[in-house]
């Protein structure tokens, strides 16, 4: 069903949406979508950074534990 929608169909849908909601409402809606995408990307980057920090802490703990056992021998 959706495979048959071409450029004229998409233009018709765009015009109907524009008439129903108005240019201002669509503009503010797209601004909110943009803010949501930006927030999502920021959250992903913060999560990756947190995982890297935890991995670095674990490696430091392992290295610290190895030096403690060498000192005892």
Within-domain flag for 28:
yes
- Cα–Cα distance between 9 and 16 in angstroms, integer? 11
Tell me the average confidence (pLDDT) per consecutive run of 10 residues in the chain, 73 residues long: 79 90 85 94 94 85 66 53
Total domains present in the chain: 1
Within-domain flag for 57:
yes
pLDDT at 26: 82
pLDDT at 34: 94
The parent domain of residue 36 ranges over 15-61
Count of beta carbons in the 10 Å neighbourhood of residue 20 = 9
Within-domain flag for 69:
no
Within-domain flag for 72:
no
pLDDT at 69: 56
| Exposure b/e, 36-67, CB count within 10 A at least 16 = b | eeeeeeeeeeeeeeeeeeeeeeeeeeeeeeee
Within-domain flag for 54:
yes
């Amino acid at each position: 069903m959706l495979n048959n929608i071409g450029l004229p169909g998409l233009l018709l849908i765009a015009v109907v949406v524009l008439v129903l909601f108005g240019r201002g409402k669509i503009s503010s809606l797209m601004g909110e979508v943009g803010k949501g995408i930006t927030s999502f990307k920021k959250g992903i980057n913060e999560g990756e950074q947190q995982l890297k920090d935890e991995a670095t802490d674990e490696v430091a703990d392992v290295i610290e534990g190895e030096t403690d056992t060498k000192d005892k021998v």
